[in-house]
Amino acid sequence: MIIGRYYIDQKSVVPKIVIGAVIALLALVPLFTTSMVTLSTLISSGIWSIAVMGFILILRTGQFSMGQAAFMAIGGYVSAILTVRLGLPYWPSFLAAGVISGIIALGIGLIVLRAGGTSFSIITIAFGEIVRIVALNWDDVTRGASGILTKPPAPITIGNFEINFATNLVPFYYFMFFLVIASALFFWQIDRSRVGGTFRSVAANPVLAEHLGIHLMKYRVIAFTMAGVFTGFAGAYYVTFISVINPLIFDLWKSVQIMMMSIVGGPTLIVGGAIVGSTVLYSLGNYLTQLPVANVQYLVFGAVVVLVLLFLPKGTGLVDLWGKFWRKVFKEPEEYEIPGEFSQEDEE
Amino acid sequence: MPPAGIWIDGLVQSCIYMTMAFGMVLVFSILGILNWTHGQFYMLGAFVVYYAVTAAGVPFPLSLLISGVIVGALGMVVEKLVIERLTGPGYGLLAVTAATMALIFFFEGAAGMAFGLMAKGMATTLPGVLDMGSFSISYQKIAVIIFTLVIMVAMYIVLNRTKVGKAIRATAQQPDAASLYGVNVGWVSLIVMGIGCSLAAMAGGIMGPVQSVDPFMGRIPMIMSLLAIVIGGLGSLTGAIVGGIILGLLNSVIAYKISYFSEVALFLLVIVILLIRPQGLFGAAPK
């Protein structure tokens, strides 16, 4: 991981049984409470966490994408246009949203990832702004600033049991749960596989990686496309959940928010960091917007991120705080220091 | 040809982008980071000028200087408290980038809470227009252009004729060698951050009468000056000036021709420039 010197072996930090217990507890949440506020906060946090996982996967290759919200917008618009304006059923349009978002990510990535580093970040900002402006002005397709009202998926009937998305939030919650678990498994497997290791080597030392026969562009584009597909899914599901899409929902500041969630959660852990970061920041933001003080959520968001960066060691985020607690209470640390020549700061 | 008013608007925008981009490049060349909070110092500068002029009755030129000093000091505080602590060994670029981006939200939230979300006008400062026959220029816009010229000349003198400027240029070229020759690099970073932020603040202040003052006014100038320094070449002061002129003029002149999609054209231009020359128009070739 490029931001810190310390690489923590996550297998030793939190045992599987604790993770399993947390997952089971989350799966049972709708049994304890059907309160709108709790469920919708959890649903939105879950959806954002998928986008954050995509961001962290791109970060693994050393690139800093500032246009992830644009892929959510593309996914959202594709699903909204297919269901509302062309009258297709929801689930095929949901799949189409991810696929089209992935294809666009592939195309953009092939052109844009040639310029790495800061240029790449700037280009992704420009790309996000282009998507927003096109959505705002292409009235015939996107209905401009007024946006498109989306419909919930049609009820699914299994025997005499009906899953109705229109009447309550529990089906939304369970599909979000399924989506997050599926993406988490995917990203976790990718991250620990050989491909994930290659991503890290591309980030840690591009020159050395290239000399070892790793095609840099290929792996950057793979990461960018995978992130694009899942971010598209997240966008398509998010607009269905909040039942509207317009150009203001996914602007540049949402991309910044995705980045902030990954920092607060901790980008060393692709799944845990994303979920912790998005849940903490989204719930916090949701709580703060209910306060009578205008704009306080911006202030607190900024302050939280800066404080996490300043006071948690080497920017490892909240998951590492949990890991530290766990190691202190239950287990001795197994912490590896990355050898100096592999971290970027020591190149000079 | 677009009418003269369009060109003048473009020139005014170019001036602001140039001033902001200049400060950002200065910070980049010494600290090696992009200061994403630059637009928020612009916004804070505009607020300081607004309250100095309307509430305290300070004359406009003096209030510009006051905002430069106050916001420059704030920039130094940010450098000392946040940036310096996140650029030590063991940190990559991500931490400090994320921190300065988070400060965007922090300052916008703080400004929104302190000054309210309503846009504030100060159009009564510097009223009147200069009639040029076929077109006219308001004194506010003339003030922006003169201010930019003054700033550029002053910065030229500071960088090329003074000891501080020499230290800054030496540090930008080779920090280790500079510190061997007795330049306090930490101190230079602090000075440069102060200069960059006060430039942004004064740019915000001088733009206050032309547009309205609100907590989110810094976002577009920030993105535009960022694009300006990237197409001009990171670390190149000439590049910052040329990039600012290109973006400011294109922004208004293209908008006159093809209204809506002018911004798309602008961003596409940036993408194309970066793809053809990733180091920017005036940047050094990659080693």
**Rounded mean pLDDT of A309-314?**
74
> Could you say which of B97, B103, B112 has the minimum Cβ distance to residue A294?
B112
Q: Each residue of A218-256: b (16+ CB within 10 Å) or e?
A: ebbbbbbbbbbbbbbbbbbbbbbbeeebbbebbbbbbbb
pLDDT tens-digit profile of B224-240? 888 888 888 887 888 88
From B90, B93, B270, residue closest to A5, measured CB to CB: B90
Q: Please check the confidence at residue A196 and state whether its pLDDT lies above 50.
A: yes
In a domain, residue A41? The reply is: yes
CA distance A289 to chain B (A): 12
Model confidence at A99: pLDDT above 90: yes
A334 pLDDT higher than 70: no
B69, part of any domain? yes
pLDDT tens sequence across B181-218: 888 888 898 999 999 999 999 998 888 888 888 888 88
B100 contacts in chain A (CB < 8 Å): none
Is B264's Cβ below 8 Å from some Cβ in A? yes
Which chain B residues are closer than 8 Å to A343 by Cβ? Answer: 90, 92
Does any CB of chain B come closer than 8 Å to the CB of residue A300?
Answer: yes
pLDDT of residue A348 exceeding 60 = no
- In chain A, which residues have their Cβ closer than 8 Å to the Cβ of B227? 122, 126
Determine whether A283 is exposed, middle or buried from the number of CB atoms within 10 Å of its CB (0-12, 13-18, 19+). Answer: middle
- The pLDDT tens digits of the residues spanning B264-281 come to 888 888 888 888 887 777
Mean pLDDT taken over chain A: 81
Give percent above pLDDT 70 in chain B. 96
Q: B111: domain CATH number?
A: 1.10.3470
The CA distance from A221 to the nearest CA of chain B, in Å, is 16
Residue A326 lies in a domain: yes
**Tokens, residue B14:** 């170019």
**Which of 178-217 (A) contact B at CB < 8 A?**
none
Residue A331 structural domain: 6-342
Q: What is residue A147's predicted lDDT score, i.e. its pLDDT?
A: 80
Total domains in chain A come to 1
Q: Indicate the average pLDDT of chain B.
A: 85
Q: Domain range for residue B83? A: 4-117+130-276
- Residue A144: pLDDT over 90: no
Mark yes or no for CB contact B86/A314 under 8 Å. no
Over residues B67-81, the mean pLDDT reads: 92
CA angle A166–A172–A174, rounded 5-degree value: 140
* φ, ψ dihedrals at A8, nearest 5°: -100, 130
Residue A37 distance to chain B (closest CA, Å): 24
Whether residue A347 is contained in a domain is answered as no
- Is the predicted ipTM greater than 0.90, yes or no? no
Task: Say yes or no for a CB contact (<8 Å) between B113 and A300.
Answer: no
Gap between the Cα atoms of A273 and A288, Å rounded: 22
Number of domains in chain B: 1
Residue A1, domain member (yes or no):
no
What would the pLDDT profile of B105-115 be if each residue is shown by its tens digit? 899 889 888 88
The answer to whether residue A243 scores a pLDDT higher than 70 is: yes
Give pLDDT tens digits for A15-48: 778 778 888 888 888 788 777 888 888 888 999 9
CATH of the domain at A26: 1.10.3470
Is B4 a residue whose pLDDT tops 80? no
Lowest mean pLDDT among A32-41, A87-96, A127-136, B6-15: A32-41
Has residue B283 been placed in a domain? no
What phi and psi values does residue B155 have, to the nearest 5 degrees?
A: -65, -35
Q: Is the pLDDT of residue B73 over 90?
A: yes
Nearest-angstrom CA–CA distance, B215 and B221: 13
Residue B286 contacts A where some CB pair is shorter than 8 Å: no
